[in-house]
Amino acid sequence: MSFGDRVKSVRGDLTQKVFAEKLGVHTNTVSRWERGEQIPDQEDLCNILAVFCEVSPEWLLTGNGFREKSTPNFDKISENENKVRSPESEASIFDSLGMVEGMGLLTKIYSAADPVYIRAINANLMAFANAVESKTVAQDMEKRLQDMEAKLAEMDELKRYVLELKIKEEASEKARLGEQSSKRKVA
């Protein structure tokens, strides 16, 4: 079964127009996917898998495995069935399973030696690397901004302290000058 046939299978009874609207793409794009003239980019693949969440990523990309994806059984994964798991721990289990599944999928795609898929994967990996790098730069800039904001707050506090000292000094100078003028009047 070709990739185009798998897209048709996912689309099912929906018209190309309705399917395209659900994915936020043009109807011609869906038509090109189904004719095998084009494959979806990473964002479109993610949209397909998000909207049609029952579809297995491996089956959609390679035709291997089952059309319906199997959901991880967290009870079997857990070493202690009675242990209460936080949402974070379930997410980490799911992420680790996704990583293993993803690596296996990439291995199958590369071993199939389909140049179209390999180019698409390479392009997506480069885009992912750029996104990770951009995220790292953004996090670094955010940290620097927070440091600068903390320093500005310290400077504002120092300015307030200096202003208070000036006001006290001016008040004491006025008081001293007032005492001197009253001493002159008395003398």
DSSP string, 8-44: HHHHTTS-HHHHHHHHTS-HHHHHHHHHTS----HHH
Around Cβ 7, how many Cβ atoms within 10 Å? 22
Report field, pTM of the whole predicted structure over 0.85: no
Tell me: the pLDDT tens digits for 106-135?
A: 666 666 666 766 777 677 777 777 777 888
Tell me: the pLDDT tens digits for 81-104?
A: 444 444 444 444 444 445 556 666
| pLDDT confidence tier of residue 43, bands split at 50, 70 and 90 | confident
The answer to whether the CB of 19 falls within 8 A of the CB of 77 is no
Which residues does 110 contact at the CB level (< 8 Å), separation at least 6? 118, 121
Level-2 CATH architecture, domain 1-68: Orthogonal Bundle (1.10)
Amino acid at 148: M
Amino acid at 141: M
Residue 38's pLDDT is 85
Residue 175 has pLDDT above 80, yes or no: yes
Question: What does the domain layout of the chain look like in residue ranges?
Answer: 1-68
**The two structure tokens encoding residue 8:** 């048709």
Residue 87's pLDDT is 46
How far is it, in rounded angstroms, from Cα 12 to Cα 20? 13
